[in-house]
Structure 1
Amino acid sequence: MAGMDHEAPPAHLSRVVAEFQAQETLRTSTHPEAQRYELHIGSLTEYLESVPSTNLQTHRGELRSGARANLLMGVASNRVDVKIAAARAERTLERLAEPLCTLWSAEPIRDQPLLDLAWLEVIRNAAHDSICACSHDEVVDAVLHRYAEATETAHGVASSAIEHASTQIQQAGLLLLNPCARERTELIEVDLTASALAEGFEALGQSWVQVLAERPAQEELHLTTAADGPMVVARELIFEHPETVHVLLIEREDSANAVGDARRVLEVHMFSNAENVSSQLEALSDLEALGQLEALSPLEALSQLGQRCEQDPGLLIRTVLHHAEASTRALTISGPVPGFGWRIWEPHRASSLVQSTGPYGLTNGLISVEVNTEDGTFSVNGQAGYGHIIDDVDVGDTYNWCPTEPELVVRQPQVTRAQVIEQGPLRGRLRIDSEYLLPAYAPTKTAPEPESLLQVVTTVIELRADEGILRVTTSLNNQVRDHRMRVHFPLQERASNSRAECAFGLVQRPLAAEGGPNEWGVPTFPSRRFVQAGDLTVTHEGLCEYELVDLDGDPQNPLTTAGALALTLLRCTGWLSRGPMASRPLPAGPENQLLGAQMQKPLTLNYAIALNHPDPYELADRVWSPLQIGTSAGEGSLANEGSKLDISGMEVDAVLTDSTGRLVVRCHEPWGHAARMRVLGRSGQIIDLLGNTLGPFAEELEVRPHQILTLSLDPT
C-alpha cells in the first residue's frame, strides 16, 4: 500500500508509475518475447475485486482477540489522565446512561441524539494516537475535552432517566436504581430525616447507619456583595436548586458589623415546598418588625433582587436554603436491588460490621487490613507487602518505557505517617502519607546527577461492611519528570499467567511478551477494567497497564511463576518519540519534546483489590457502577421493588434503544464454555451488529464459547 499510518502517499507516485509504464513499453517493443509488467494506481476495493475469492481458507470468529493483538509496549501507561477519562466516558455511557435511558425514560428514542452525540465524541478519540496519547499536547487537550463532553452528556441523560423513574413508583421515598444485570446489596450515602433515623434506630438499633454530617433545616449558602449577588442567586435558583418554588426577600441590619459601620443585608430565603413557607416564616423572630412579606416566584425574586442591588451598591446578599426538616447525611445498607431493577429503600442491618484492629487496622470479618507505618505498605489478612510503591527513572517516550543504565529505582519512602479517618461501623478508612525522595528528572550528559525532590504520595484504603474488597485511592501532586510509578501486590498463590478483561472477552497471558530486534519484549500488558493472577483480583479506573513480577526463573520457561503483580499508576515522559534508546532503537513517531506527557499536576488514581473473588465482572460493576439514588414522589403504579429486565447466563455489554425504538441487548460469553442465556419473559430476534435479523429468540438460547450475541426484543 502507498500511504499508511506514518507515511502519506508519495506525491511523485503518478510520475513514477508513468515512467515505469513507458520503459516497459520500450522494453517489450524491442523484445516482443519478454513478459510485460503492468502497474496502475487503484483503491483497496479495486484490488480486492481482482484477487481470487473462491477456495479460500476460512476463519470463524469476530477477529477481536486481545491475546493476539500486539500493542506497543508502553502506550497503556503514558498520559494516565487520558486513560482515566476514557474509562469514565465509556463506563458512563455503557453502564449508566444507556441502560437507564432505555429502561426508564419516557421516550428513550428522544434522548438518543444526545447519546449519539456523546458516542461521536468517544469515536473521534478512537484514532490510536489519540486514545494512546502518542500525540502533541494540543491534540491530547482536545481528546480530554471530548471525553469530558461525552461524560457530562451521558450524566445528563442518566439524570433525566432517574428523574422520570421517580414518577413511576407507587410509594414515596428514596428510590434505588440498579443499572447493571446482577442483583446487588451495597453501601449507599443518603440524606435521612430525623423521623427516618428514629424509625431505623427503633427497628434495627445502631448497626444500620453511620452518620457523616448533620444538615439543619435552614442552611446559609452564601454572603456576597451587591455586585455579585444577583449572579450567585441566579446560579443557585437555576442550576443548584431548580426545585425552588418560592422565595422570600428580607432586609435586615448586619449585626455582625461594628457600631458605625453597619450595612444592610438582604436575605434571599429559598423554599422547595410551598406548604413550608408559612411554617418557616414563624421561625423568623423579628417578622413583625420587618412588615408584611410576600412569597415570590424565582423569576420575581431575581427581578426585585437586581433592582435593590442597583439602588444600593453597598447591600450585602445572604442566600438561605430552607429544607422541609433537618436531616442527616449518612451511610446505610441498600437492601437487595434486582438487576436492571428498582427498590424503595428501607433500613437494613449489616451483617459484617467494620471495626478497628490496633492503631492502624480495620476488619469486617471478611477481610482485614493493617498499615505498616515503616514503609507505607499494608497487610491483607495478615499477608504483608500490599501497596508497595516503587518508582524508577524512565528515559523512554510515549510509546515505550526505557530504564536508565544502571537503573535508578526508589523502593522505600523517607517518611510515612498513618491515621484512621473513619472507624465504621459501615465504612472504615485509613490514610497513609508517604514522602519519597525521587530524582527530579532523568540524568543527561549535561546533568548526570539530577537533584532530588520530595514527592508526597497519599493512599486512602477503604473497607465497607459486608464486602471482601479494599478500595484504594492514591493521590499526588506530581512534581517529578521522567519516571514510572507502580504499586506492587504479593500473590499468596504464585501464578504462571494472568487473566485480564478486554473488549468482549478475557485474555489469558503468559509471563513473557513478544519482542524482536526492533523492540524489547516487555511483558507490561493492558487490561480494560480488571486483571487476575493467583488469588488476587485488581479492578481499576483507567490504570490499564500491569505486569507479573518477582519471577522464580526464566519467563520463557512454562514452569516459572510470579510472586507479585505490579500495577502502573503513572508513567511520565518528555518525548512523543525518540531514538535510539535501549528498549527501541528506532523512533516510533516524530521526535518531538512534550510538556503535558510529564503529568506534572494533581492526580487521583483509583483501584480496588480482592482475594479469591469468584467473579471479576461482578467486582468491577460493584466498584465502578454503583446504585443510583432518586426520590420517589409516590405518584406512579409500579410496586416498591422489581426488575425491568432479567438477564442471566452471559455478561451484558449494552442495553440500548435502536433507531426504531426497540430494546437491544448485547452480551458475550467470557469463560470459554457453552452456556444458556436467558431473558426472563421476553422474545424477539437475534440480530447482527448491523441490525440484520439472524433468527428468532424466545426467552432462552444455547450460546457458544466466547460468542457475542445481540438481541432485539419485542415490546412487552
Structure 2
Amino acid sequence: MAKKKVFIVSHAHWDREWYMGFEKHHMRLISLMDDLFYLFKHDPDFNSFHLDGQTIILDDYLAVRPEKREELEQYVREGKLKVGPFYILQDDFLISPETNVRNTQYGKKQASEWSQPVPLGYFPDTFGNMGQTAQMMQLSKLDTVAFGRGVTPTGLNNQVGQGKFDSTFSEMWWEGPDKSKVLGILFANWYSNGNEIPVDEDEAKVYWTKKLADAEKFASTPDLLFMNGVDHQPVQMDVTKAIKVANKLFPDYEFIHSNWPDYIKALKADLPKDLSTIEGELTSQATDGWYTLANTASSRVYLKQENTLTERTLENQVEPLLYLGGEATAENQDRLDFAWKMKLRNNPHDSICGCSVDPVHQRMMTRFHGAQQVAEVLSEHALTSFTNSLDTHNFPADSHPFVLINTSGAEKHEDTTVEVEIARAYFKDGAPQAQYDKMVELGKNLPELTVIDAVGEKIAAKITNPHARFNYDLPDRTFREPYMALYVDVDVAATLRPFGWQSFAVIEGAAALDAAVSIDGQTLRNARLAVTLEADGTVTVTDQATGHEYRDAVDFEDVGDMGNEYIFRQSADKLTFTAKDAALSDVAAVQTAAGAQLSYTLTYQLPSRAAASLDYEREAVIDITNRKSVRGSELQPLALHVTLTLAENSNKLAIHVTGDNQLKDHRLRALFNTDLTSETNDSESIFEVVARPNKVGKNWRNPTNPQHQQAFSTVHDDTRGVVVGNFGLNEYEVTPDGSQIAVTFLRCVGEMGDWGYFATPEAQCLGDFHADLSVAFTDGSEAEQLAAYQAARAAQIPVIFGQTGVHAGEKAPSNTYLDIEGDAFAVTATKMSQDHGLIVRGYNMTGESQPLTVLAAGKDAATLADFDGDAIAKPVNSELAPAEIRTYQFK
C-alpha cells in the first residue's frame, strides 16, 4: 500500500497592517525575510516559503533592504520564495470589480518578471468570497483556488443533512453563476493546521496523531496539506528537523517539506470523481451568523467613501480621459500604475474593512489622497489635450466654452454645477491686489448670462455667485504663471449621452430655467413622482406610473452599537430612534436647472455614549454574543441635514445627508420602505447582480443579516420595484419579508475586536460626516430595473468638466466615444493598454443571454480577450452569456 503524502508548506499569513501600524508589522517582515535568507543558505532540506499569494511583500522588503535585490531575485527565480498571483490579499466585496482585476494583473506581472506566479487563486482569510471567483480565476488562467471561509466540510461519516454550503471533502468544485468551475481547496482546519511542528518525539507523536486524523477526516485524496505558519508567524527554523522526526514516527506517511505547485499537481492526479459542487457566493450563510464579518462593510464608512472616490477617479475619469486626450503613453501608464498600486495598498482585508487600529487607517487616508493627487495630474493634462482638440469655432468669439463628459453607461439629465472662468489678470501685468480688485469690480458689473449648446440653443441653467480668486498655470517647460480670475457658478441641466461629451458656452443673455419639477409647499412633483415631506419627518413618494403610494419611503434610524469594528451588536435595551422621534426644522425648497430640491433638518436627542458597563465588557474581552450593555442616560442633539433632489421626468430621488457626529457607540441607517413582499433581494456585487435570500438559515442566531453591496440593492416583483443606490456605503440589510431596505451610513464603535482588546477611539467617527443615496421606483419590468441599475452605477460617476476656448479642432463639439446596444451590459473599464489598444470590459447584470453590440469610434472590436489580454475564440458580436464577464480589445 502506497504511503499517504503529507505536504508541509511553510508560510506566514501577512497582514501588512492590522493590530499594529504598518511599520511595526513591516519591521517584523524584515526579520522574517532575513531568517528565510539564512535558511535558504544553510538548510538544503528547506524546500521553499509561500509568500502569502502577494507580491507586494517583495517591495516591502526591498524598501528596507535594497542591497538584497539580487539575492531576493535569485531566491524567487530558484523557487525558494513562491510569489503571486496577487499584488495584495484584497477584500473581495469592498473593492470594485476592476480593482479585483488590477490586483491580479499587477501581481501576475510582477511575479512573472522574476519567476512564475503560484498557479493558485489564494483567498485564505477573505471576509466572504465573491460568487464570480470561478469565472474571474479562469479569465486569469487560474483553475485552482484556496480559501478559508464559507463552506462547512462534513466528512464521509457525516453526510446526513448536507446543505447548500456543505462539502463532503476539503476539496470541491466551485461553480460561478456563468457555470464556470474551478477546483476549490478549503482550509478545513484553517491555514495554520501545520503550525509549530514539534521536534521532540513525544510531543510530535501527540501532535501528528491528532493533526493527521483532523486532515484525513475531510481529505478526498491521500495527499494531505499542512500549512506551517499563521498570521505574522516567524518561520519555523527547525521545520525540516521536525519533518524528519515525523517520518521516523509515522512510517505509513511520507512527510515532505513542499510547496503549492507540487501539492496541486499531486492532488489533481488523485482527485476522485465524487467531489461536491458549491455554487456562488461563500459568505458563511450556513453558520450562526455572528462571524460572517459582514459588518466590516460599515466600519469606518469614511474609508469606503474614499475608496469609492479613488476608484471612480481612476476608472471613470483618468483612464477614459487618457484615451480621449491621446495621452495614454508608456510614461503616463507608469504614473497610472503608481496611483493604482498606492490605492491597492489600502485594499487588504484588514485595511479596507476598517478593522485595524487607528494608525493603520490614518495612513490609509494619506495613500488615498496621494493616489487622487496623481490622478488629478493625469486628468488635467489629458483633459487639456482633449478640450484643445474640440472644434468650438461656431461659438461666439467673446463666449466662454466648456465641455461636459459623461463616462458612465447611462444617460444623465441632472444638475451639474461647474465653475466657469469669465476673465483673468496675470500677476506679470499688475500687482496681485490690483488684479484681484479688478476682477472683483468686473464681477459687480457682469451682464446677465446664459448657456447655449453647440448649435446655439439655450440650455436650462442657473448662473450665480460671481467671485474672484487666485489661480495659476503650470506650463510643462516654463515657469509658473500666477493670476487672479473671475468665475461664476453654473448649474446646467444638460442631457448627456452615455460615454459621450457635449460642448456649451456661457454668453450674454437672459438665463433659461425650465420649471419641469413643481414645488407645492413640501411636495416636489415631476411627470413620474410626487415626493412629500410629512410633518413627522418621514417622506411619502407616489409613483404616478404605477399609482402606488410609498409611505415612509425615506426614513432615518439610530440605534446603539455595543460591538466592534468587525461585528455590530445592538444595545440590550433595543432603543431605536427614527425620524418620527426627531424635531423637523429648516424646511426649504428651491428650483434647480434640472429640477428641484427640498432640504430639511432632523434633530434627534440621543444617548451620548453607551453605559459605562461597555468599558468593562471591552477591557475584559467579553465576546460580542455575551454583551449586555445598554445606551447611556445622558442625551445630546444630533442633527441630520437632508437634501432631496428630483430631476425632470426621473423615477429616482437623490438623497444627500450631512451632520456633525459627537456621539459614541451608535449606528445610523437610511430606511427605505419597499411596500413589497419578497423572499429575495438583488444587489450589485463583483461582476454580478446577485440574488440573495431575505431569510436566514436554520443555524443563524445573529439578530441581523448584513450584506455587501457595490452601487445598489433592490427588492422587486413583476409589478413594482425599489432600487436603492449609494456612494461608498457598502452595507445593507433587507427585512425577512422584503418590506424594507436599510443602508448603513455611520457606525461608531470604540474597539478593534477579534483576539484581544485594542482601543480605536477614531472608529467612533466623531466629526463631520456625509452620505449620498438614491431611491428609484420602477414598474418591476426588466427594462426599468436594468435602467435603474445603470442609473445607480452612473450616479457614482461625476460628470467631467473642462473649460476651453473658441478654436478649430479635429473632434466634433458633441459626440460619443463608445456606443453600446445592450441594456444589461454594465461597463467596468474603458482604458488604453500599451499592448492591446483600447480595452472595454463589463458584465451581464442578468442570468439570461442578452444581445450586445459594442462599438468604439463606430468600429467593432478586434477580439474578445481574457484578463491577461490573450484572445478568446468567440465572435465579438456574439450574445452576452448569462452572468458573463466580457473584455473587448479594439485596435
TM-score range normalised by the length of the shorter chain: 0.7 to 0.9
Shift of 1:56: 6.0
Counterpart residue number, 2:473: 242
CA separation of 1:389 and 1:530: change in aligned 2, threshold 3 A = same
1:670 aligned to 2:831?
Answer: no
The alignment partner of 2:645 has SS state of strand
User: Is 1:645–2:645 an aligned residue pair?
Assistant: no
Gaps of 5+ in 2: 1-8, 14-124, 126-189, 205-238, 286-291, 394-400, 423-445, 543-548, 617-628, 779-783
2:525 corresponds in structure 1 to 363
Q: Which moved more, 1:109-118 or 1:437-446?
A: 437-446
Q: Which residue of 2 aligns with 1:525?
A: 707
1:379 aligns with 2:540: yes
User: CA 1:469–1:346 in structure 2 vs 1: closer, same or farther (change >3 Å)?
Assistant: farther
Query: How far does residue 402 in structure 1 lie from its aligned partner after superposition?
Result: 1.0
Tell me the amino acid that sits aligned with residue 387 of structure 2.
Answer: S
> Partner residue of 2:868?
690
Question: 3-state SS of the aligned residue for 2:860?
Answer: strand
| CA–CA separation in structure 2 for the residues paired with 1:159 and 1:147 | 18
Whether contact under 8 Å (1:652, 1:667) holds in the other structure is yes
Q: Do residues 51 (structure 1) and 226 (structure 2) align?
A: no
Question: Are the equivalent residues in 1 in contact too, given 2:654–2:774 (CA < 8 A)?
Answer: yes
Structure with greater contact order relative to length (CA < 8 Å, sep ≥ 6):
1
- State the partner residue of 1:605: 771
Q: Are the counterparts in 2 of residues 493 and 563 from structure 1 also a CA contact under 8 Å?
A: yes
Matched, 1:403 2:570: yes
1:701 aligns with 2:878: yes
1:43 shift after superposition: 2.4
The structure having more radius of gyration, on CA atoms, is 1
What is the identity, as a one-letter code, of the residue corresponding to 1:685?
Answer: T
2:336 is the counterpart of 1:91: no
Distance 1:79 1:92, change over 3 A: same
In the alignment, is the contact (CA less than 8 A) between 1:350 and 1:466 conserved in 2?
no
Superposition pairs for residues 233-632 of structure 1, below 5 Å? 236=470, 240-242=471-473, 321=484, 323=486, 328-335=488-495, 337-345=496-504, 353-358=516-521, 360-374=522-536, 376-381=537-542, 383-411=550-578, 412-424=580-592, 426-445=594-613, 449-513=632-696, 516=699, 520=702, 522-534=704-716, 535-549=721-735, 555=736, 561-577=737-753, 588-612=754-778, 613-614=784-785, 615-632=787-804
1:272-304: CA deviation from partner (whole Å, max 9, x where unpaired): xxxxxxxxxxxxxxxxxxxxxxxxx987x98xx
Query: Do the aligned residues in 2 keep the contact of 1:684 with 1:697 (CA within 8 Å)?
Result: no
CA contact (8 A) 1:425 1:465 kept: no
Deviations 1:162-185 (A, max 9, x none): 211111122243222221244444
Q: Letter of the 2:640 partner, please give it.
A: V
Unpaired runs of 5+ in structure 1?
29-34, 222-235, 245-296, 303-319, 550-554, 556-560, 578-587
Partner of 2:408: 180
Asked whether the 8 Å contact 2:451–2:461 carries over to 1, the reply is no
Whole-angstrom distance in 1 between the partners of 2:381 and 2:336: 12
1:77 maps to: 298
Query: Which letter maps to 1:687?
Result: A
Taking a change above 3 Å as real, the CA distance of residues 521 and 435 of structure 1, as seen in their structure-2 partners, is closer
CA distance in 2, matches of 1:350, 1:669: 39
The change in CA–CA distance for 1:490 and 1:139 in structure 2 (over 3 A counts) is same
User: In 1, Cα distance between the equivalents of 2:338 and 2:247?
Assistant: 53
Query: Is the 8 Å Cα contact of residues 850 and 881 (structure 2) preserved in structure 1?
Result: yes
Question: Structure 1 pair 204/52, CA: closer, same or farther in 2 (3 Å)?
Answer: closer
Contact 1:393 1:403 in 2 (8 A): yes
What letter corresponds to residue 353 of structure 1 in structure 2? A
Query: CA offset at residue 677 of structure 1?
Result: 2.5
| Identity rate, percent | 21
Q: Which amino acid aligns with 2:560?
A: V
Following TM superposition, by how much is the alpha carbon of 1:83 offset from its aligned partner in structure 2, in angstroms?
A: 1.1
- Alpha-carbon deviations, 1:40-63, whole Å to 9, x = none? 4332233223324366669999x9
Kindly state the Cα deviation for residue 708 of structure 1 after the two structures are TM-superposed. 1.0
Residue 601 (structure 1) shift: 1.5
Tell me the equivalent position of 1:635.
808
User: Residue 501 of structure 1 contacts residue 529 of structure 1 at CA under 8 Å; is this kept in 2?
Assistant: yes
The Cα of 1:712 is off from its aligned counterpart by 1.9
Q: CA deviation at 1:467?
A: 2.6
Where does residue 255 of structure 2 map in the other structure? 39
Separation (CA, whole Å) in 2 of partners of 1:74 and 1:141? 20
Give the TM-score of the pair, scaled to structure 1. Answer: 0.74
CA contact (8 A) 1:183 1:339 kept: yes
Instruction: For residues 148-203 of structure 1, give each alpha carbon's deviation from its aligned partner in whole angstroms, at most 9, with x where no partner exists.
Output: 222332233223222111111222432222212444444333449778946869x9
C-alpha separation in 2, matches of 1:712 and 1:594 = 47
Q: CA deviation at 1:214?
A: 4.3
CA distance in 1, matches of 2:199, 2:775: 59
The AA in structure 2 aligned to 1:590 is G
Quick check: 2:684–2:690 contact (8 Å CA) kept in 1?
yes
> What's the CA shift for 1:646?
1.9
CA-based RMSD: 3.6
- Superposition deviation, residue 702 in structure 1: 2.3
Supply the distance in 2 between the matched residues of 1:349 and 1:494 (Cα, whole angstroms).
45
Aligned residue for 1:313? none
Letter of the structure 2 residue corresponding to residue 532 of structure 1: T
Task: Return the offset for 1:671.
Answer: 0.6
Q: What amino acid does structure 2 have at the position aligned with 1:387?
A: V
Aligned to 1:286: none
**Contact 1:684–1:696 (Cα < 8 Å) also in 2:** no
